[in-house]
Structure 1
Amino acid sequence: MLLNIHPENPDEKRMLQVVDVLRSGGVIIYPTDTVYSIGCDVNNVKAVARVAHIKGLKPEKANFSIICYDLSHIAEYARVNTPEYKMMKKNLPGPFTFILNGSSALPKIFKSNKKEVGIRIPDNNIARQLVQMLGNPLIATSVHDDDEVLEYTTDPELIHEKYEKLVDIVINGGYGNNEASTIIDYTSGEPELVRQGIGDLVY
């Protein structure tokens, strides 16, 4: 199903429709402030396995990020010290993925293969409100393109054509970007740039 949702003012009824699908173990494709992502409720093991299968990965080998609603939400799933907190406060919501040391609340799927987790708070109302309404973070893994020139598919209608049999809902929240987030590894206590993406970090 292709579901149109306004990116600035998401329709509550349609958002609840998506949340119901997520609660029942569904998999969706949704917009962020960078590229479109495939995702599900982080606590639903079967749904996470479905996302991994779509990406051609074993769940325990998948490097999925999670979408949180705000900084206090991050503290539930990762150990955040003062320097990391100050850095994230300056840059989030925004097009960044911060790799942090995970907390004991991190779902088992993450703990099986690593102790760290990539965390995002995208500057996108649809993604953040879905997390808020669901009450749990969303898995986030980018929708890649088969095209040799473009790495990411930006047109939600084309995404729907490709994935409609694999996912339950594709949200049309307008065209996405074709550049991914900037990744910062903070697991050693010092910020290390892993990938320069669309976001320019403010120190």
Structure 2
Amino acid sequence: MPSRTLSADPRAERVRTLLRTAAFDLAHERPVDEITVGDLVARAGVSRQVFYRHFTDRDDAVATAVTVAFAAAVADIQGDARARVTSLFDFAAEHRAMYRNVVPSAVTQRVVMAFRDELLPACEEIAAQGMRVVGRIADVAPDAVSRFLVGGFQEVLRSWMEDPSPEDPASDLRARVSAALDTVDALLRLPSPTDSTPEKGTHHG
């Protein structure tokens, strides 16, 4: 069985990094379903035998490469929900060619879930801050609010992928994400039905 965790052997991790880099780069160049294990090992400069020590197949290598890249894009951002969401979408804009080659493909579900997993901490933070407003309006748990936010942000990405601005796709996505975040902020500041005074301190920006 291939190792699915980081190896304690630096040499093994270097090989794994080479394979992830090869998978990530090739996913920018052509649809994932057109990439072969032979392509990956040739790009990484390793043998098939070595490849199968680290990954089960092409899909495992590509999905792992994208998952690691998503995590790295927001690794240094803690406690700032807006910055985390914005950085994740900036990464998606920068690597739009890769995303288009991955979705749809055999690894679509794993990539979508990886994107969701990186969105979730920010959405949980926003939900926790907003419960003072939401909790007075509806009997809903914080995790339900988090899932709602994750779904909304994923829809922002999906709609942009289908119809980006041809002039400046990256700026277009950033504007859409900023608008979505501003909308969330505005909704969380709404007064309760029995209080006309806007809630304070619930923004996440």
Q: TM-score, normalised by structure 1?
A: 0.27
Larger RCO: 1 or 2 (CA < 8 Å, sep 6+):
1
Higher Cα radius of gyration: 2
Structure having the higher strand fraction is 1
Q: TM-score, normalised by structure 2?
A: 0.27
Structure having the higher helix fraction is 2
